[in-house]
Each structure stands twice: as structure tokens, then as C-alpha cells.
């Protein structure tokens, strides 16, 4: 593939709700431009983007794909992002690599949740937005209804530049409002120019006028001409649309049927003509080594600045790193400096990807997107620059994964394979977090939702050959003493031969929450010899760690050893350990224990209309609401403390309550006593599980 100058590059990410047709549209664009000779179908598992076994099996995109397309001397880097909410991590990465978003909206389903969610992300970043109304050939498709929904959701900046000729089965072509031209589609992906349909003119003309008006309003010089002459030329309208789109003040709406395909040709020409090039976008801001902020121009001759927005690991191919160059260039057989990791990386071949296919390129200049293989240290989110001029870009803003699942290898002995797989998966996908819990002794993988965790499990199996079991992560319960008491542990066996003799008296008292565990030695007069005092402590610690009454560790207690007895011959380390453990058990039996559970602090952000339902649900989860506040944009922030046990599946619950419009964060806060009736159930369940294993 040729090397393109920044002004001839368009980086466009396709975003939107799952099933809108992004992958099909990518296929249509590739086919229309002649980059592929046959159009694949998502259903048939033979599209360029959805090449992963997991994507073919599910029929949805799981991972971001790149598809470079050459059209009229312009290189369009299409990024096909997954629409399913669990894979939003890839979308946030792609928003950084792209210079504009194309929202793919189904004319049957209209505006859906992920459109709103991603629109907000793009708006926060000031990213230009255009819309493609797809599936206009489908039964129950309606352009007008979809347009109304778009205007309601995103405001009057949304304006069509095309209208369909017919809908559903009658869909025949597209009217281009800019030039008052009509294109009809039969068997070719390229429309045939024909008569302006006079029967639809009455509908189309008001839209044309509105378009000219909004374009004129965006540019004073155009406004003057429009008022004088009542008409604008093609170049003037396109200039106005481009300015409005680039400044994110105007969202043009196009239409088509990716599946046919129809409209992909007009879309490509529009992208080439009116979408911003890297030069039209503000220069990126970087932080130099001395902490100073700098701007980097979109210039191939400036020092290198590139962002790694996606990595894919494969045990056979190695790791593939996808990056967007903002300034400078990446050349084959060179050295780059990873300023995030503070290390040099050797670059071998430089290539572009079309789905899974590699195509080598001479270089990747400013404004372009490229890939390299087998970098040793670089992971998603890193900045590549030069050692002589190291700079970092802001990190990719990612959501926190909060669905906690415990995973373990199905086959004993696969532990090493599992940890290799987990390390790789985490490096590739920053929305996966893995922790080894010192408390529950589980390996816990945090993901964005069930589909995300499921996809990771599949990946581990297929790519890393390790089959894993997935269970909800355990809650790290604890136990504590209910009151203060004294107890004796007596381990005495003196029947023939070498005997065993140890007696320990302890006092046990509860401490405030969060104090942990204390052992105090108050032995006087050598009633227990010095060398055996650590033995008693060891026995007590072992017992409290395993759980004295419940299967959970004991916390927030002070154990004071104040008396005891020994025998000059029969006492031993092990005898005093046993005495210590027995004493603690005796004390627990006398004073009683209570079960403690972790309480998490949660903050939930939802559209105002959901506040009541969210609070009701938190109450039913034994939560305590700390407060609510309006945070603008029609959103409420709700703060609460809730038992962790009730929040295990909240990533799923919140999504189903709000249709995916809610966000939340969660962090450990403190431990509290579990109500007795629930404590009995928890202990019973834990005992059963212990017996089974």
C-alpha cells in the first residue's frame, strides 16, 4: 500500500449499538473500493473484521478491526469497533486513533443506548460526528422516524445530506441533497446516476433548504452569498459541511443499506471530501520529560509521537501492536522509544492490517495508522517517541472493570499456563484486571460484563491452551469475638514414654473494626519458659487464620497470654502450639463469635429518571444511601455503602435496570457485622463447600 500525506488520510471509527451493521458496512466499503472481490457476511463468518473464532461463533464483533481503503487518492482507515457494551474499552482506544466517528444507526431500531453512550464520549473529546442510517432496505425501516429520534437525542445539529428513494422492499436508491442528484442501485455497489425523483422533491426540497441555511449560518462569507443569491455551489456547501463537522457543530446524516451494498460509494466520496484530515484536527498535547506540556504538529518531519491504541497477542504470531502516529513517522528496521515504559523497542517490519491480513508499508507517517509485531514491552495505551525527544500522550481513559469472577485451571498443573495467559490478556486489554486474593486465595479476574469475561475465557482456551472454570468471586468474610473472656488451653498426654505437656491461659477481647490482630505476652516468673511463648502465639495465629468457629479468619481481637504451666521434660514447641489453639477455641466458645462482611462504597451515575429505581434496589440490597446530587446533563450521582456480597453481580444488574445508561464505581470501605440470620446461611454454605473439596 502507498504512503499517504496527512492531508490525504481520513481516520474514521464506526461506532454504535451492536447489530447496527458496522461490520457489514466495513465490508461494503472494502468491496465498493475494490479492496476485496467478494462481500462477506457476518452470518457466514467470512467478513474481514469479524475474523476471530469468537466473533464468528457469536456473530458479533468482540474486538476492534482496522480496514484501510483507498478511494480517489485518499486513504480511509476504517476502524470497526464492537458495539456490545462489554467491549467499550476498544471503543475508547479507537476514539483516540480516529479523527471522526461515524455512528451507524439501524433504520429499524433507531437510536439505541450505545449510540447515546458513545455520543457522549465523543462529545467530551470534541470529536467530529457523522451518522449513517443503515438497513433502509429492511422491513419496518423508516428514515423519518430514525431522523426524528436522532434529532431528539442529539439536537438540531443533526441534519440529513441524503434521503432514501423508497424504503423497505421498495428501497431503490439515494437522493444527494448537496447536488440534487439521485443514484439508483441494482447489482453493482456503485449507484447509477439518474433522474431526480419529482414525486419526492416536495419532501426533499425543505431538507435541501435547511442544509444550505445551516451551512450558511456556520460561515459568514457563505451566509452573505446565500442571502444574495439563494443558492450555494457544491464546493461552498461541502466547505461549510466540512467546517461544521470538523468543529463538531454539525452532524451530517447519510443513508444506505450496507448489506446490499448501497450507499457505500457515496459515503466513501463524502468521507474523502468532507471528513477532517489529521491536519484539520487540533495538534496533540504531549508531556515532555521535564513535565512541560508541548504540542505536536501533524508533520511527518517532526519528532515521532504515536499512541498504541490496541494490541493483540497470539502465541504463534506474537504480539501485534496497532498505533496512530500524530507526528513524525515509524520506519521499518528502526528503534523507537516507549516513553511510558521508559525503554527502547526494536521495530522490524512495519505494516497495515486488513482484518487479520498484513500488508507491509514503506513507513507510517504522521496522521496514519500502522502496526508492528513482536515489541517486547509495549502494551495498550503506551506512547512511542524518540529517545532523543521522549514525550508521553495522555493515557486512554478507560472504564473500571467491576464484574469479579474467580478463575482456576480445569486441569491441575496448568497454573503456569494460566498465569501466562492472564498476563498477556491484561497487557492487550486494559479493561481486564487480575488479582490474586490473599484472603480468599482465589485468582480473581475483573471484566466489564459476562460477555467480556466469556470472551476472555474462550481466548485463554483457544490461544493459550488453558481451560478454566469460572465462578463468582468469593466474599472475604471474617469472624470476630463478641466479648471479653478468659480461657485455658490444656494439652497434656503423659502415658508412658516421652509425654506432652502444655497449659496456656489467655484473655481475649474484641478490638475496634479494622484493628487486626494483637498478641500480648504477660507471662511473669517463667511460668511458661521464654522459648515456648512464640509457640503459643504460633498456635493462636494458625487457629485464627483458619477461622476458629467459622471457616473465616478471625480479626479485631487482642489475645493476652497471662498464665500457664510447663513440665521440664514433657513440654515442647508443638505442645504449646496446640495449647494456644485450644485456648482460642475455648475462648470463642465462651464469648461467641460474630461474622463480619466487607462493605463497599459505591457511586452510581444514572439519568435522573432512574434514581428512584436505583435507590429502591440499593435498599433491597441492604445498602445505606449516603446522598444524591444532580451533576448536570440530566444525570444524578448516588452515593451509598452496600455489603460487597450484594454487589457481586451489580455490573449486570445496573445494566439491566438502566438499559446500559448507568455507570458505577466501587471500592472497599470497611467491615460490618452480618445480621445473624444471614450469617448462619453464609457459614453453612462455606462449610458445605469445604467438605466438598
Backbone angles phi, psi at 2, to 5 degrees: -65, 160
Residue 23 within binding range of Mg ion, rule CB under 5 A: yes
Q: Which stretch binds ligand GTP (CB under 6 A): 15-23, 94-102, 167-175, 438-446?
A: 15-23
Sorted by sequence, the CB contacts under 8 Å of residue 387 that are 6+ apart come out as 335, 337, 344
Least Å from the CB of residue 61 to Mg ion:
3
* 673 touches, from Mg ion, ligand GTP, none (C-beta below 5 to 8 Å by class): none
* 19 touches, from Mg ion, ligand GTP, none (C-beta below 5 to 8 Å by class): ligand GTP
Closer residue to Mg ion, CB minimum distance, 64 or 575? 64
The 3-state DSSP class for residue 239 equals helix
The 3-state DSSP class for residue 581 equals helix
Closer residue to Mg ion, CB minimum distance, 83 or 643? 83
**Per-residue contact track with ligand GTP, 76 to 105, x per CB under 6 A?**
------xxx-------------------x-
**Residue 370 has which C-alpha cell?**
500502522
Helix pair angle (88-97, 113-124), 10° resolution = 40
Question: CA 86, CA 96: separation in Å to the nearest integer?
Answer: 18
Query: Which DSSP symbol is given to 531?
Result: G
Residue 416: C-alpha distances to residues 421, 427, 465 (Å)? 9, 17, 11
Query: Which DSSP symbol is given to 609?
Result: G
The 3-state DSSP class for residue 461 equals helix
Among 24, 379, 383, 644, binds ligand GTP (CB under 6 A): 24
Closer residue to ligand GTP, CB minimum distance, 258 or 466? 258
- 158-160/251-255 β-pairing: parallel
Q: List the interface residues with ligand GTP, window 229-258 (CB under 6 A).
A: 257-258
Closer residue to ligand GTP, CB minimum distance, 43 or 546? 43
User: In the chain, how many H helices and how many E strands?
Assistant: 17, 37
Total residues contacting Mg ion by CB under 5 A comes to 3
Check if the beta carbon of residue 597 is closer than 8 Å to that of residue 480: no
**Per-residue contact track with Mg ion, 237 to 266, x per CB under 5 A?**
------------------------------
Q: Which stretch binds ligand GTP (CB under 6 A): 134-142, 310-318, 477-485, 575-583?
A: 134-142
Quote the Cα angle for 330-334-336, to 5°. Answer: 65
Closer residue to ligand GTP, CB minimum distance, 140 or 670? 140
Closer residue to ligand GTP, CB minimum distance, 67 or 602? 67
Sorted by sequence, the CB contacts under 8 Å of residue 167 that are 6+ apart come out as 107, 136, 137, 141, 142, 143
Query: Which DSSP symbol is given to 399?
Result: P
Q: Which stretch binds ligand GTP (CB under 6 A): 132-140, 350-358, 461-469, 667-675?
A: 132-140
Question: CA 74, CA 71: separation in Å to the nearest integer?
Answer: 5
Question: CA 558, CA 563: separation in Å to the nearest integer?
Answer: 16
Backbone angles phi, psi at 574, to 5 degrees: -65, -35
Residue 189 within binding range of ligand GTP, rule CB under 6 A: no
Least Å from the CB of residue 518 to ligand GTP:
55
Q: Which stretch binds ligand GTP (CB under 6 A): 116-124, 129-137, 420-428, 597-605?
A: 129-137
Question: CA 350, CA 356: separation in Å to the nearest integer?
Answer: 15
Give which of 387, 390, 357 is closest to 371, Cα–Cα: 357
**Per-residue contact track with ligand GTP, 291 to 330, x per CB under 6 A?**
----------------------------------------
* 92 touches, from Mg ion, ligand GTP, none (C-beta below 5 to 8 Å by class): none
Question: CA 102, CA 86: separation in Å to the nearest integer?
Answer: 20
Among 9, 12, 13, 22, binds ligand GTP (CB under 6 A): 22
Question: CA 95, CA 601: separation in Å to the nearest integer?
Answer: 30
Least Å from the CB of residue 138 to ligand GTP:
4
Closer residue to Mg ion, CB minimum distance, 61 or 305? 61
Q: List the interface residues with Mg ion, window 61-90 (CB under 5 A).
A: 61
Quote the Cα angle for 111-197-25, to 5°. Answer: 35
Q: Which residue shows C-alpha cell 500502522?
A: 370
Quote the Cα angle for 31-192-164, to 5°. Answer: 85
Buried b (16+ CB within 10 A) or exposed e, 307-329: bbbbbbbbeeeebbbbbbbbbbb
Question: CA 297, CA 276: separation in Å to the nearest integer?
Answer: 15
Least Å from the CB of residue 339 to ligand GTP:
33
Closer residue to Mg ion, CB minimum distance, 79 or 466? 79
Least Å from the CB of residue 49 to ligand GTP:
7
**Per-residue contact track with ligand GTP, 658 to 687, x per CB under 6 A?**
------------------------------
**Per-residue contact track with Mg ion, 175 to 214, x per CB under 5 A?**
----------------------------------------
Closer residue to ligand GTP, CB minimum distance, 59 or 551? 59
Closer residue to Mg ion, CB minimum distance, 77 or 305? 77
Q: Any bridge partners for residue 293, and if so which?
A: 287
Question: CA 293, CA 307: separation in Å to the nearest integer?
Answer: 17
Residue 19 within binding range of ligand GTP, rule CB under 6 A: yes
Closer residue to ligand GTP, CB minimum distance, 60 or 384? 60
Least Å from the CB of residue 380 to Mg ion:
20
Among 20, 110, 370, 390, binds ligand GTP (CB under 6 A): 20
Closer residue to Mg ion, CB minimum distance, 63 or 311? 63
Give the dihedral of Cα atoms 371, 373, 374, 379; nearest 10 deg.
20
**Per-residue contact track with Mg ion, 32 to 61, x per CB under 5 A?**
-----------------------------x
Going along 170-227, which residue ranges are E strands?
Answer: 173-176, 181-184, 192-194
Closer residue to ligand GTP, CB minimum distance, 450 or 603? 450
Q: Which residue shows C-alpha cell 442529539?
A: 154
Least Å from the CB of residue 319 to ligand GTP:
24
Among 77, 134, 146, 298, binds ligand GTP (CB under 6 A): 134
Among 8, 11, 23, 571, binds ligand GTP (CB under 6 A): 23
Closer residue to ligand GTP, CB minimum distance, 11 or 134? 134
CB-nearest residue to ligand GTP? 83
Question: CA 570, CA 582: separation in Å to the nearest integer?
Answer: 18
Backbone angles phi, psi at 674, to 5 degrees: -85, 135
Q: Which stretch binds ligand GTP (CB under 6 A): 18-26, 288-296, 300-308, 577-585?
A: 18-26
**Residues in contact with ligand GTP by the rule CB under 6 A:** 18-24, 41-43, 60-61, 82-84, 104, 134-135, 137-138, 257-259
Binding residues vs Mg ion (CB under 5 A): 22-23, 61
Amino acid at each position: 500500500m502507498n504512503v499517504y500525506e496527512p492531508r490525504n488520510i481520513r481516520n474514521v471509527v464506526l461506532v454504535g449499538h451492536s447489530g447496527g451493521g458496522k461490520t457489514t458496512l466495513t465490508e461494503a466499503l472494502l468491496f465498493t473500493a475494490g479492496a476485496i472481490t467478494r462481500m462477506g457476511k457476518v452470518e457466514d463468518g467470512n467478513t474481514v473484521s469479524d475474523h476471530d473464532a469468537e466473533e464468528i461463533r457469536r456473530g458479533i464483533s468482540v474486538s476492534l478491526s482496522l480496514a484501510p481503503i483507498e478511494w480517489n487518492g485518499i486513504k480511509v482507515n476504517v476502524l470497526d469497533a464492537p458495539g456490545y457494551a462489554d467491549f467499550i474499552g476498544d471503543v475508547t482506544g479507537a476514539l483516540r486513533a480516529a479523527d471522526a466517528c461515524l455512528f451507524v444507526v439501524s433504520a429499524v431500531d433507531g437510536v439505541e443506548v450505545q449510540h447515546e453512550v458513545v455520543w457522549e464520549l465523543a462529545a467530551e473529546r470534541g470529536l467530529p460526528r457523522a451518522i449513517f442510517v443503515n438497513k433502509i432496505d429492511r422491513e419496518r425501516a423508516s428514515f423519518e422516524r430514525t431522523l426524528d429520534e436522532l434529532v431528539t437525542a442529539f439536537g438540531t445539529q443533526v441534519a440529513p445530506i441524503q434521503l432514501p428513494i423508497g424504503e423497505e422492499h421498495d428501497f431503490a436508491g439515494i437522493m444527494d441533497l448537496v447536488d440534487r442528484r439521485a443514484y439508483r442501485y441494482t447489482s453493482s455497489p456503485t449507484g447509477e446516476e439518474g433522474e431526480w425523483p419529482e414525486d419526492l422533491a416536495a419532501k426533499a426540497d425543505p431538507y435541501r433548504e435547511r442544509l444550505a441555511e445551516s451551512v450558511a449560518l456556520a460561515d459568514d462569507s457563505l451566509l452573505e452569498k446565500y442571502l444574495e443569491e439563494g443558492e450555494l455551489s457544491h464546493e461552498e456547501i461541502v466547505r461549510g459541511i466540512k467546517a461544521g463537522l470538523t468543529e463538531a457543530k454539525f452532524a451530517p446524516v447519510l443513508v444506505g443499506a450496507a448489506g446490499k451494498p448501497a450507499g457505500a460509494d457515496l459515503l466513501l466520496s463524502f468521507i474523502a471530501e468532507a471528513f477532517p484530515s489529521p491536519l484539520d484536527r487540533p495538534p496533540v498535547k504531549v508531556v515532555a520529560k521535564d513535565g512541560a506540556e508541548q504540542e505536536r504538529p501533524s508533520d511527518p518531519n517532526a519528532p515521532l509521537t504515536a499512541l498504541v491504541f490496541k494490541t493483540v497477542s497470539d502465541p504463534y504470531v506474537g504480539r501485534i501492536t496497532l498505533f496512530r502516529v500524530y507526528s513524525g513517522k515509524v520506519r521499518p528496521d528502526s528503534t523507537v522509544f516507549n516513553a511510558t515504559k521508559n525503554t527502547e523497542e526494536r521495530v522490524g517490519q512495519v505494516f497495515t492490517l486488513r482484518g487479520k491480513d498484513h500488508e507491509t508499508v514503506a513507513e507510517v507517517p504522521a496522521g496514519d495508522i500502522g502496526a508492528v509485531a513482536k515489541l517486547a514491552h509495549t502494551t495498550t495505551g503506551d506512547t512511542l517517541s524518540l529517545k532523543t525527544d521522549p514525550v508521553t500522550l495522555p493515557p486512554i481513559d478507560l472504564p473500571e472493570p467491576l464484574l469479579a469472577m474467580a478463575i482456576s485451571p480445569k486441569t491441575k498443573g496448568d497454573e503456569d499456563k494460566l498465569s501466562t495467559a492472564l498476563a498477556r490478556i491484561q497487557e492487550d486489554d486494559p479493561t481486564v484486571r487480575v488479582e490474586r486474593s490473599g484472603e480468599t486465595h482465589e485468582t480473581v479476574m475483573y471484566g466489564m460484563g459476562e460477555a467480556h469475561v466469556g470472551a476472555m475465557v474462550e481466548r485463554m482456551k483457544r490461544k493459550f491452551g488453558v481451560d478454566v472454570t469460572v465462578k463468582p468471586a468469593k466474599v472475604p468474610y471474617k469472624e470476630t469475638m463478641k466479648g471479653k473472656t478468659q480461657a485455658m488451653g490444656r494439652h497434656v498426654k503423659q502415658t508412658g514414654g516421652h509425654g506432652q505437656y502444655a497449659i496456656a491461659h489467655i484473655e481475649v477481647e474484641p478490638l475496634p473494626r479494622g484493628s487486626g490482630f494483637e498478641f500480648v505476652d504477660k507471662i511473669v516468673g517463667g511460668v511458661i519458659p521464654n522459648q515456648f511463648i512464640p509457640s503459643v502465639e504460633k498456635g493462636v495465629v494458625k487457629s485464627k487464620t483458619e477461622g476458629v468457629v467459622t471457616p473465616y479468619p478471625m480479626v479485631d481481637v487482642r489475645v493476652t497470654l497471662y498464665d500457664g504451666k510447663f513440665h521440664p521434660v514433657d513440654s515442647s514447641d508443638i505442645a504449646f502450639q496446640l495449647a494456644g489453639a485450644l485456648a482460642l477455641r475455648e475462648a470463642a466458645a465462651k464469648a461467641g463469635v460474630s461474622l463480619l462482611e466487607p462493605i463497599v462504597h459505591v457511586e452510581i451515575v444514572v439519568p435522573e429518571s432512574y434514581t428512584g429505581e436505583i435507590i429502591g434496589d440499593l435498599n433491597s440490597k441492604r445498602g445505606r444511601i449516603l446522598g444524591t446530587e444532580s451533576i448536570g446533563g440530566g444525570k444524578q450521582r448516588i452515593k451509598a455503602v452496600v455489603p460487597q456480597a450484594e454487589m457481586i453481580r451489580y455490573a449486570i444488574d445496573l445494566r439491566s435496570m438502566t438499559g446500559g445508561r448507568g455507570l458505577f464505581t466501587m471500592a472497599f470501605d470497611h467491615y460490618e457485622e452480618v445480621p445473624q440470620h444471614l450469617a448462619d446461611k453464609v457459614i453453612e454454605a462455606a462449610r458445605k463447600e469445604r467438605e466438598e473439596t
